[in-house]
Structure 1
């Protein structure tokens, strides 16, 4: 009997562990509050729940925010500001008092899962870097005293400037001038199984170097690939390349177990005259493609299938942020809580384009097909991309399927191009494919091969399945199957004890 109880306990613990491991990649949002016109935290909590946002990052430990998000189920990443690093690094008692007064009274009703100690310290004035790791140790010690060190992870966020090289990704290397605090920090992260937190902005790379970085590559829209000459890995977007640069930098220092978490990324919807790419259309395209890319659990070229948690910056436009016009316009929502542009956080739906935006023919009157003037090589590359990274379901152009005949590259590419085009708002950029795609006004459907129309059910049945299953993967299916098996085993054991 005792042995049976031990086996049951083991199975239950294994099941709980597996459920955590099978969570998959997640999308969160940063709740910046550098503004004087934002709604109250209570209203923000309602907005976040309304849009089914399940992960939120705040930059401090505001009592009002923690109270507002208590019992909402939203997981919170809270922060210790750079201005608090000095007292937190010097005296353990300061951290103990902060935890006792500012965190514990609201936990676990407020589901705090991460504490960030400092933010992008290498970018700020002064020498706060040396204070980060001692403060992290003190925070961890405070958590250990109350038994929360395994439930709340401790880390710190960084800008991409922490690297001295990021291209090609395999040459990724940390800036040697930061080694004095990075090495002990990485040792801390590895020992405590905490993630390396990085803020990544392809927007800045494009804005500052448009001659070297294409807009399509920054927006996850490129139909061509950038090859890492050292590894042969192929990159279709800058986001993946920057993530892998971090991983290669970690591996170069022999830190192979530390996972990367993106604590900020996004695209501004408005900018100055020098920031022409800061538009609602581009912001919508970037964040929509980002969400689909992340929840697909495809990982990056160097870390295929690796889970990646990402936080989009930011929940609101923030009117008090200094700098260029774009700095105040990263929000998904205006302060009055209306959307700057539509965004589907599930990543499953067709891109919902606001009616007043300048995207072309969103009413379903245009299609995207392959150009007859395109080379066979360019068409094949574009087709491979659409059916791969583009997340298009290309089963309809397989042998014996309704769109296989005529068995030509142009015909197959046309079907795939149009599916991607319609799934991504029928915008001009969604029909580029490196110049191999062209828009037409005549429906290319023929016989039983039905071409998708945005906002319509007129499509091969497999397309609907493709959109709905974007977030699933073989890994998740395996996890679900094993979890179900273990659950049934636990039930059988339990029933055997009853009899």
Structure 2
């Protein structure tokens, strides 16, 4: 990252191009340190070996942190009985999770703000988060249907224009994962996902280039 930043700066593009890297938002947080969002804290091994230097770099260069934010994985892996699908799908009109003075109506905001809390604890309060991956699989696992994938992504596009409780009125730069289903992709088995098939079905399009469902990304 530093070598790329040096090359960009020497080319006179240091203010136009930002250098960053991506983290797995859920994986980077310490076990049990994501709920409520204000308790967000990075895994100490991950922070010490890798992320501490990255955060210092981002602060120095006023660059964002790219975070892969997957409410689906949080919803399935935590098995929290108080987290419903409509909370994951941005369809709650009232506060579900109260965290001090902040209230959360959807799981996406809670996940993003847990990373913001972890950044603040690690000296990265000024760092902006860009959601580099998010989405919902349409098949292959628990709560995976075509309608669920369409609902999540459609409501996501509307929601990210308004920010999170910790960073209100600041649109969240967000990228949907993925463009295509990956029919040959294998997802590693783990304690939560004993069926690896869900990893093949995140796309907006089928491998034959046909759209899986209509969606407006504007």
Pairing partner for 2:23 from 148, 158, 176: 158
Counterparts of 2:155 and 2:90 in 1: how far apart (Å)? 6
- Of structures 1 and 2, the one with the larger relative CO (CA 8 A, separation 6+) is 2
Q: Does 1:327 align with 2:196?
A: no
Equivalence for 1:318: 182
d(CA) in 2 for partners of 1:294, 1:256 = 20
Task: Kindly state the Cα deviation for residue 212 of structure 1 after the two structures are TM-superposed.
Answer: 4.4
Which position in structure 1 is the counterpart of 2:160? Answer: 294
Partner of 1:220: 90
| Partner Cα distance (1:210, 1:190) in 2 | 35
Alpha-carbon distance in 2 for matches of 1:341, 1:305: 30
Distance in 1 of aligned mates of 2:57 and 2:174: 22
Indicate yes or no: 2:176 matched with 1:304: no
**Alignment match of 1:255 (pick from 107, 111, 124):** 124
SS in 2 for 1:197: strand
Q: CA deviation at 1:152?
A: 1.8
Q: Which has the higher helix share?
A: 1
Secondary structure (helix, strand or coil) at the match of 1:289 reads helix
Residue among 336, 342, 345 paired with 2:214: 342
Match of 1:367 in 2: none
Secondary structure of 1:173's counterpart equals coil
After superposition, the C-alpha distances for 1:242-284 in whole angstroms (9 at most, x for unaligned) are 111111112223322110110000011111xxx2411110001
1:281 maps to: 147
Structure 2: runs of 5+ lacking an equivalent: 188-195
Q: Do the aligned partners of residues 232 and 226 (structure 1) sit closer, same or farther apart at CA in structure 2, a change above 3 Å counting? A: farther
Tell me the matched-pair count.
205
* Alignment deviations for residues 117-141 of structure 1 (CA, whole Å, 9 cap, x no partner): xxxxxxxxxxxxxxxxxxx111112
Alignment of 1:65-464 (within 5 A): 136-160=1-25, 161-164=27-30, 165-180=33-48, 181-208=50-77, 209=79, 211-229=81-99, 231-271=100-140, 275-295=141-161, 298-323=162-187, 324-346=196-218
- CA–CA distance in structure 1, aligned partners of residues 17 and 52 of structure 2: 22
Post-superposition offset of 1:210: 5.5
Would the aligned equivalents of 2:65 and 2:129 in 1 still touch at CA under 8 Å? yes
Moved over 4 A (4+): none
Flag structure 1 segments of 5+ consecutive residues without an equivalent.
1-135, 347-499
1:174 to partner: Cα distance: 1.0
The Cα of 1:235 is off from its aligned counterpart by 0.5
Contact 1:205–1:213 (CA under 8 A) maintained in structure 2: no
2: CA distance, partners of 1:276 / 1:342: 23
Equivalent position of 1:421 in the other structure: none
Distance 1:236 1:294 in 2: 13
Alpha-carbon distance, 1:154 to partner = 0.8
- 8 Å CA contact 1:264–1:310 kept in 2: the answer is yes
Q: Secondary structure at the match of 1:341?
A: coil
SS in 2 for 1:228: strand
How far apart are the structure 1 equivalents of 2:183 and 2:158? 29
TM, length-normalised to structure 1: 0.40
**By how many angstroms is 1:183 displaced?**
1.8
* 2: CA distance, partners of 1:338 / 1:210: 35
Q: Who is 2:193 aligned against?
A: none
CA contact (8 A) 1:169 1:228 kept: no
Pair member with larger Rg: 1
Tell me, what secondary structure is at the counterpart of 1:198?
strand
Q: Distance in 2 between matches of 1:276 and 1:241?
A: 21
Question: Quick one: distance in 2 between partners of 1:247 and 1:205?
Answer: 17
Give the superposed CA RMSD.
Answer: 1.5
